[in-house]
Amino acid sequence: MALIKEPDLGTPGRPGEPTVTVQVDGMSVAVPEGTSVMRAAALTGIDIPKLCATDTLEAFGSCRLCLVEIDGRKGTPASCTTPVTEGMRVSTQTPKLEKLRQGVMELYISDHPLDCLTCSANGDCELQDMSGTVGLREVRYGYEGENHLDAPKDTSNPYFDFDASKCIVCSRCVRACDEVQGTFALTIEGRGFESKVSPGAGGSFMESDCVSCGACVQACPTATLQERSVVDLGMPSRSVITTCAYCGVGCSFKAELRGDQVVRMVPYKDGGANEGHSCVKGRFAFGYATHPDRVLRPKVRERITDPWREVEWDEAIGFVGTRLRDIQARHGTGSIGAITSSRCTNEEVYVVQKMVRAVFGNNNVDTCARVCHSPTGYGLKQTFGTSAGTQDFKSVAKADVIVLIGANPTDGHPVFASRMKRRLREGAQLIVIDPRRIDLVRSPHIEAAHHLQLAPGTNVAIVNALAHVVVTEGLADLDFAAERCEGFDEWAEFIARPENSPEAVEPISGVPAAELRAAARLYASAPNGAIYYGLGVTEHSQGSTMVMGMANLAMATGNIGREGVGVNPLRGQNNVQGSCDMGSFPHELPGYRHVSDDAVRTVFENLWGSPILDEPGLRIPNMFDAAIDGSFRALYVQGEDIAQSDPNTKHVTAALEAMELVVVQDLFENETAKYAHVLLPGTSFLEKDGTFTNAERRINRVRPVMAPKTGKHEWQIVCEVAQAMGYDMHYDHSREIMDEIAATTPTFAGVSFDKLDKLGSVQWPCNESAPEGTPIMHVGQFVRGRGHFVQTAFVPTEERSTRRFPLILTTGRILSQYNVGAQTRRTANVVWHPEDLLEIHPHDAEVRGISDGDTVSLASRVGETTLRARIVDRMPVGVVYTTFHHPVTGANVVTTENSDWATNCPEYKVTAVQVGLKQSASGRSAEATARDLQTLSD
């Protein structure tokens, strides 16, 4: 495919019907009211010269290149800032305009390096293009006067440079940082000839508030801001549209290449989830795909203490098939199982669960969603009837009050966070419910109306208190509850009880009752109230209860079934929604249909030619327990590093050591591979051919930009393992797998590669009743018919602080790193986060003699690790926080086996711990420091 050049209409579109008719150079066009003259002209095929204008940013009118003449008006107004009016007659090409534009361009060129032939942006420079467009042939001013040609270059950022000598001060980078990203890291400093782009008081991009999202690079019309990869490799020559493989936002990108080498990833303007925006991971951190650590050939060994032996594919697959059959013969059909990956495509996940059911002959299949969003699936299915979020991401633009619970989208889902921040700057109100003061509580041009800084583990008490106010103060939407829901009266009686009041909850949660009441009133009285949540909701012993509690709150206020409302999980990994959709849970077949359903099983049995058990199989925690007990003997792990990501690491590794066969299919030798007998190389997203499903149920195509470096697609490997076990599983192309999914799964019935290629993406359900997908769920009625109110009693977690472990640890993510860091740690992103740090409140640090930067021990009842301390006041006293991106830290060594009552989702967010000084930042040991303190006290 040739290099894709997306059209730029100059200024953003305006909503509404095309009711205003205007003539541009004699051509008529009808556009919505408020449309700029520039955009109207572009819609007729007339591109007015421009430098400061682009259709991703509001018009600025600074470059004076887009001048036009309008009948009946004096002067030459800027077309980008001039709205059309009915009957307007515009001329874009006249001798007067030609002379003015050439004069403007002369001024730009007189202060710009004339190095076009050697410039990295040659052929992709708007200044170069516009010089030709306006017919500039000479520069009368010369190049000897005052200029900026010796301006310094900022090379501090690992991914792009800022060459001030080439800057034309169009402000596009500044406006992109403000309007698109919402970070406000850049500004124009100085006036007149001294004007220049500045990254603020820091002096360089790396020292500024810049989050390296790339919006400024994308907006720059010259080589002032340029990717280093373009400088090193040259301009790309072809594009492939694909989907990011990091978080659950599911951004669409143009992978731009020279040959089969990726030069850069450019966010795709037509991407349904991101609409041309990106974050530092998706935009720049793709280098792991070609990292020398990649495993490209299969490896096997008899025992985990043996060295690896590289083998050919046939030997590796034969080894796996023979061992699995042998283990089943000796230990029974249920002695083996698999874990699917939320980083793999729907098609790759589907064939793994098919292998388990049709080939292994059991339902022992689970997915990493078990340890993150399984309570979402359970809770939303019980209340709404389907295991997914209710809205598309665009919906947030219609929200008036946003409740953000247990999520940190600026770090975990940054592109969606930019959408949310845009809406907040427009006037929407924000309620943050989180033990930690995340950036959205207060950041440039944004301040939350309420920050309910609750004690970890008290989520359910908080949501019940909010609902208590709604019911007892007459704020409920009784008509909605009566018309569309069931169980409201019983639930209302339960929620109105005194134990659910804000006053009763205050001593439990630490949140003042007055704040709870004010937040409840704000949400309930909003025309549109939306709830967004993350792992801070689900990774608790009452995760499922909390999801149902949020659903109750939304139904009670009528905030379901239209734009700007809903209950929306911010899924962590790129295909965690898809891996669940594909039947990766031990109790459900694809489409969330229980294995006990005879009719559903019959569909798959007829297609697969194999019986399917009607009893659920083992969940991940059950697999580990059974392995230690001796009844579970082999595990196929697809693309998950369970030895780093799952809780109570010692228990996980003991289970892996107890198995006769562990097969790991992944890009790198991860922590789990240390306990594996077979290592099957996986493919990066740049080599995959299939689909991902993001957090808004959007099914996006993942197109290969290069052939698999391993020689095989991952779905082919699984099929060959099945064949080695005696089952004929074969597909010629991944599109055939999607066709099988569509044929067996009602919510995917209308999905095909051809449709995705035509429409770009669709949101399930996609079927006869919704042939182009379903952006908003539960319109008119719920999937289950009537929404179901569930009583959500607060049950305190068993994990409590004690004298031995007086602090509570909670965990989360950081912007530059992703999950267990296997991908991002192999990119330049490590410059922002080279290690996991323990955030500790100044009071808790002081009483322990801990200073900023000291090495500390972090211990719980199940394990201990060591890391450096960072003293901050983001958490309340008694709460500490860390990330889990580096295996050397191994944060999950200390997390316990406590889990959600319904789904076994681990309680990562509440672990009782103690923190102690190991080594001061000056190099002094804890013992020496203690002696000094004792001497002072004496």
pLDDT, tens digit, 9 for 90 and up, residues 790-832:
999 999 999 999 999 999 999 999 999 998 889 999 999 999 9
Sheet holding 252-258, edge to edge: 238-243, 252-258, 261-267
711: left (phi over 0), alpha (psi -120 to 50) or beta: left
> What residue spans of 163-279 are helical by DSSP H?
172-175, 215-219, 228-233
3-class SS at 429?
A: strand
Look up the CATH number of domain 375-569: 3.40.228.10
The CA–CA distances, whole Å, from 564 to 139, 403, 414, 560, 732 equal: 53, 12, 19, 9, 43
Most confident stretch, 120-134, 504-518, 898-912? 504-518
pLDDT band of residue 291 (cuts 50, 70, 90) is very high
| DSSP per position, 125-142 | -HHHHHHHHTT----TT-
DSSP assigned state of 404: E
Report the C-alpha gap between 16 and 696 in whole angstroms: 25
Element containing residue 513 per DSSP (H, E):
helix 513-525
Q: Looking at per-residue confidence, does 852 or 120 come out higher?
A: 852
Q: What is the pLDDT of residues 509-568, one digit of tens each?
A: 999 999 999 999 999 999 999 999 999 999 999 999 999 999 999 999 999 999 999 999
Query: Region 329-356: what's the mean pLDDT?
Result: 97
Look up the CATH number of domain 153-281: 3.30.70.20
Q: Which of 202-206, 867-871, 882-886 has the lowest mean pLDDT?
A: 202-206
pLDDT of 43 > 80? The answer is yes
Strand spans (E) along 703-840:
761-763, 787-788, 807-812, 837-840
pLDDT of 921 > 90? The answer is no
Write down the pLDDT at residue 147. 75
Provide the CATH topology of domain 807-937.
Barwin-like endoglucanases (2.40.40)
Per-chain mean pLDDT for the chain: 94
pLDDT of 935 > 70? The answer is no
Write down the pLDDT at residue 891. 83
Write down the pLDDT at residue 890. 81
Answer whether the bond into residue 498 is a cis peptide, omega within 30°.
Answer: no
Total Cβ atoms within 10 A of residue 346: 26
Domain ranges of the chain: 20-134, 153-281, 299-372+577-703+712-725, 375-569, 742-773, 807-937
Q: What is the pLDDT of residues 583-623, one digit of tens each?
A: 999 999 999 999 999 999 999 999 999 999 999 999 999 99
Q: Which of 129-133, 148-152, 366-370, 740-744 has the lowest mean pLDDT?
A: 148-152
Q: What is the pLDDT of residues 632-685, one digit of tens each?
A: 999 999 998 999 888 888 999 999 999 999 999 999 999 999 999 999 999 999
Q: What is the pLDDT of residues 414-470, one digit of tens each?
A: 999 999 999 999 999 999 999 999 999 999 899 999 999 999 999 999 999 999 999
Report the C-alpha gap between 289 and 282 in whole angstroms: 12
Q: What percent of the chain clears pLDDT 90, i.e. is strictly above it?
A: 86
Contacts of 232 (CB under 8 A, 6+ apart): none
Report the C-alpha gap between 559 and 17 in whole angstroms: 28
DSSP assigned state of 609: T
Mention the CATH class of domain 299-372+577-703+712-725. Answer: alpha beta
Look up the CATH number of domain 20-134: 3.10.20.740
pLDDT band of residue 570 (cuts 50, 70, 90) is very high
Amino acid 100 reads L
pLDDT band of residue 930 (cuts 50, 70, 90) is low
pTM of the complete model = 0.94
CB 635 within 8 A of CB 355: no
Write down the pLDDT at residue 141. 72
Query: Region 385-409: what's the mean pLDDT?
Result: 96
Query: Region 155-168: what's the mean pLDDT?
Result: 94
Report the C-alpha gap between 215 and 176 in whole angstroms: 6
Residue 253's DSSP bridge partners are 242, 267
